[in-house]
Structure 1
Amino acid sequence: MTPAIRLLKQQNIAHSVHEYEHDPNNTNFGLEACEKLGLSADEVFKTLLTTDGKQCFVAILPVQNTLNLKKMATAVNVKKLVMANPADAERITGYIVGGISPIAQKKRLKTVIDERAKQLDTMYVSGGRRGLDIAIAPDDLAKVLSAEFVGIVDE
């Protein structure tokens, strides 16, 4: 059981766990989850870490979309953001790249969920390791993360 699943159980938040055999040669983790779980790319969300050089922020967006760093910077009220380097992302979240869950990271970071999630009854995010996704209602995810919904992807 990962910290993400443990936290959802502790807080009695409705969710379901979906495991699949991760192919170690596959580096497109989100699309692999779609394929192996039989889901559309609109339902599966990736977790990305950004930084302004002083602090880090979490962006949750559909796997097929590209994060718009300007929109994300505006959402978190900073001038400019860049992607956090993978080693920093792993150290800060406590999860490995390809398995970074937005839930139960080592440190609570300001989090933004792309507004497209609000159109769904259920969204899928990493459960804390490669080959493990969690299905959760977008509003429940926002609540557990104290996150807000903002448009943060390239159109």
Structure 2
Amino acid sequence: MSKTTAATAALTKAGIVFDLHPYAYDPDAPRVGLQAAEALNVDPSQTFKTLMAEVDGKCVCVVVPSDGEVSMKKLAAHFKGKSANMMKVPEAEKVTGFKVGGISPFGQRKLHPTAIDETAQLYNIVYINAGQRGLLLSIAPEEASQFLNAGYVDLMAE
């Protein structure tokens, strides 16, 4: 497993402080984010998954707790759209340059409009995919938000 990914290289180049946390990736896990949290013995609500979605056909990146579900209505509203849906796997991999299960909001081929669930602000650090299956990074939420030019918003389904 490489410790240098497009995500870690982008953060390092920007001078952002983070720590790496490798874990045993289980490709058969029903929910990869929950499996990662369990493997690292971290609270699932502090472990964030990166999802790629489309709002009115435009690509957006969403960073939300691994133990929650995104409200498509809230997502569309945040990006001032009418409808939102999850991007299909091949398209998500193409636009990000990462494989599903290893998609990071950092170091994607292009910076897409990004939203981070507001609960990230509850923690001094959050765990987010580092751009490779089986590798998370811990980062201050404020650093992540600034790097991604992302706002905090309530994105979770009730």
Q: Which category of TM-score, normalised to the shorter sequence, fits these structures?
A: over 0.9
Residue aligning to 2:82: 79
Residue aligning to 1:111: 114
Give the C-alpha shift of residue 58 in structure 1: 0.7
Residue aligning to 2:145: 142
- May I ask how many residue pairs the two structures share in their alignment? 155
Q: In structure 2, what is the Cα distance between the partners aligned to 1:25 and 1:82?
A: 24
Residue aligning to 2:53: 50
- Given the alignment, which residue of 11, 14, 17 partners 1:11? 14
Q: Which residue identity lines up with residue 28 of structure 1 in the other structure?
A: R
Q: Which residue identity lines up with residue 143 of structure 1 in the other structure?
A: Q
- Residue 94 (str. 1) matches residue 136 (str. 2): no
Residue aligning to 1:31: 34
Give the C-alpha shift of residue 53 in structure 1: 4.9
Q: In structure 2, what is the Cα distance between the partners aligned to 1:102 and 1:23?
A: 21
Unpaired stretches in structure 1, ≥5 consecutive residues: none
Q: Which portions of structure 1, spanning 4 or more consecutive aligned residues, are displaced by more than 2 angstroms?
A: 23-27
Q: Which residue identity lines up with residue 40 of structure 1 in the other structure?
A: D
Q: In structure 2, what is the Cα distance between the partners aligned to 1:127 and 1:48?
A: 13
Instruction: Tell me whether 89-98 or 23-32 shows the greater mean CA deviation.
Output: 23-32
Q: Is this contact kept in 2: 1:123–1:136, CA < 8 A?
A: yes
Q: Is this contact kept in 1: 2:115–2:152, CA < 8 A?
A: yes
SS in 1 for 2:45: coil
Give the C-alpha shift of residue 27 in structure 1: 4.2
SS in 1 for 2:67: coil
- 1:15-50: CA deviation from partner (whole Å, max 9, x where unpaired): 100001212332421011111101011110001111
Percentage identity across aligned positions? 34
Q: In structure 1, what is the Cα distance between the partners aligned to 2:29 and 2:85?
A: 25
TM-score by length of 2: 0.95
Instruction: Tell me whether 114-123 or 48-57 shows the greater mean CA deviation.
Output: 48-57
Q: Which residue identity lines up with residue 97 of structure 1 in the other structure?
A: V
User: Alpha carbon RMSD of aligned pairs, Å?
Assistant: 1.0
Q: In structure 2, what is the Cα distance between the partners aligned to 1:10 and 1:80?
A: 35
Give the C-alpha shift of residue 59 in structure 1: 0.8
